[in-house]
Each structure stands twice: as C-alpha cells, then as structure tokens.
Amino acid sequence: MTDKKSGRLAGRHVLVTGAGGGIGLAIAEACIAEGARCSVVDRGPQAPEAVRALMQHHPDALAYIGADVTDMAAIAHMLAVAEARFGAIHTLVNNAAVFDMAPLLESNEASFDLLFAVNVKGMFFVMQAVLRHMVEAGTQGASVVNLASQAGRRGEALVSHYCATKAAVISYTQSAALAMAPHGIRVNGIAPGVVDTPMWAGVDALFARYENLPIGEKKRRVGLEVPLGRMGSPAEMAGAVVFLASDDARYITAQTLNVDGGSVMS
C-alpha cells in the first residue's frame, strides 16, 4: 500500500468478504486509508486478532460481521448489519474463498462441493444480494470487485476444482457487468498471481505431498517463476482493488485485471 493517499473512496461504504486476514484485510486497510468505511466479513463469530487490531485504530470506520457466505439467511443478515452501521454499500469486494487440491483421479466429492459452495455459490449470491440493494437504492458510483485468480485463466493438473471455480468468477463478473451496465453499476475483478499470505503454508504443504518436495520448496519456486521474480504482497492486490472501486476506473467494467507480476498476459 502506498503512503500517498488521495481520499479516492471518501464517504463510501465498502463491504469486504473473507477479510479475516491476508488479502481481504489488506483491502479493507487500503480502502480505509482512502477514506472509506469498511464492513469486513469472515466466518468466525468473533473478529480475528488482526481485525481487532485494525479496529482499534479505526473504530469509526471498521466493523466486523461474522457470516457464512454459503448460507442465504446469513447473507441477508450480513447486509442488514452492514447497512445499519454504515449505510448503503458503494462497493462490494467478493474475496471469500477456500483452496484445495489433489490429483484428478483422486479428487473427491467433498472437496468439489466445498470449493464450489464458497468460491462460486457464495460469490454469486453475495454479489446478487448486494447488487439488488444497489439497484433499489440507486447508489451512485456503485461497483463490485470480485477476486478471481490466475488459476482461473488456465487449468492445472493438481488444482482442477479450484481453477474451475475461479474461471467461474471471471465469467460471472462479465455477465454481471453486462446486466448492471444499464444501472450504472460497474463489475470488475482482479486475478492475483501467487501472493505471500498465511494461506500459502497450507498450499505449500499440499504441493510438497503431491510433488514430493521439501516444505517451502514450492513456494520458493513459484516466486522465482514470476517474471518480476517474486511473489506478490496483499497490499499490491489491495491497490488494484482501490483503483477499480474508485472514480479513476469509472469507464472500466466487465474486466478482470491480472495482478500477477507478468505471469499471465492478456
């Protein structure tokens, strides 16, 4: 996150799902720094320690909501709580997601169901619910930013379900953007590459298991394979989200921006 702030999101209410840490929390922090009020959502009933720490610094600009994005009743409650606290939502950042992997012939139904429930069903129905509120309220400058992945741009032998869910995010982003254009609501996405977050410990362990690698080796390799020579940071993803949520991107919709150090070219 840059030290130079311009107040690009001043007075706006940003709702960020999957914001208990990592990329989601970095997005919330960046939005607050640009003048927004943020409702951050994660599964736990109580705010994680990192969220509580940020709330201490921004008690009037940050609120935590515990909600399961795969539960329709929980989505409705989440929106009611968020709007009661900070008013109409100007930007939704759909970040909640889970990861799993396995060889194609060993992958099971439970993994498939979980990944599609959170990454696709949760993403779509949260987006639908927020968009409905935006249309009804006539919210000016409204937008959605969905978190896809470079995995949604191509298949991977060990990561078939996750890749498919993120491809679905890109497709739904395009469809929603066309549906919302007559209402003046923009819908975009970002496709992060490999990002250095706490989740990578679990990802690295899975690659170590299936590719017979030492712990830490996969993470080292993927960073070196990026054209810019390193993994990205959560703050670098947050900067792209702030841009897409701001008026600087007012003529951009139906796009999914690659934020991956040059790994995918489009």
Cα dihedral 149, 153, 155, 156 sign:
negative
Tokens of 238: 């947050």
Taking residues 38-50, report their average pLDDT: 97
Distances (CA, A) of 176 to 138, 141, 167, 266: 17, 16, 14, 21
Q: What is the pLDDT of residue 266?
A: 83
pLDDT tier, 6 (very low <50, low <70, confident <90, very high otherwise):
confident
Superfamily of domain covering 13-194+233-259: NAD(P)-binding Rossmann-like Domain (3.40.50.720)
Q: What is the pLDDT of residue 4?
A: 57
How do residues 86-114 score in pLDDT, each as one tens digit?
A: 999 999 999 999 999 999 999 999 999 99
The CA-CA-CA angle for residues 148, 161, 132, to 5°, reads 45
Residue labelled with tokens 């995010």:
169
Taking residues 26-33, report their average pLDDT: 98
pLDDT tier, 1 (very low <50, low <70, confident <90, very high otherwise):
very low
- DSSP H helices in the chain: 22-33, 49-57, 72-86, 109-116, 123-137, 160-180, 199-211, 217-225, 234-245
pLDDT tier, 10 (very low <50, low <70, confident <90, very high otherwise):
very high
Domain boundaries in the chain?
Answer: 13-194+233-259, 196-231
25 touches 40 (CB < 8 A): yes
Residue 30 has pLDDT above 60, yes or no: yes
Report, as residue numbers or ranges, the catalytic residues: 162
Distance from C-alpha of 237 to C-alpha of 150, rounded to nearest angstrom: 13
Q: Which residues contact 111 (CB under 8 A, 6 or more apart)?
A: 100, 102, 161
In our burial notation (b when 16+ CB lie closer than 10 A, e otherwise), range 224-247 reads: eebeeeebbebebbbbbbbbbbbe
189 touches 169 (CB < 8 A): yes
Distance from C-alpha of 3 to C-alpha of 153, rounded to nearest angstrom: 32
Q: What mean pLDDT is reported for the chain?
A: 96
How do residues 205-238 score in pLDDT, each as one tens digit?
A: 999 999 999 999 999 999 999 999 999 999 999 9
Q: What is the pLDDT of residue 2?
A: 42
Which 3 state secondary structure label does DSSP give 12?
coil
How do residues 144-166 score in pLDDT, each as one tens digit?
A: 999 999 999 999 999 999 999 99
DSSP string, 196-224: -STHHHHHHHHHHHHHT--TTHHHHHHHH
Own/partner contacts of 251-255, CB < 8 Å, gap of 24 or more, are 252/186, 252/188, 253/177, 253/180, 253/181, 253/186, 253/187, 253/188, 254/173, 254/174, 254/177, 254/178, 254/187, 254/188, 255/177, 255/188, 255/189
**At residue 261, what are phi and psi to the nearest 5 degrees?**
70, 15
How do residues 236-258 score in pLDDT, each as one tens digit?
A: 999 999 999 999 999 999 999 99
HSE of 88, CA atoms in CB hemisphere, 13 A: 14
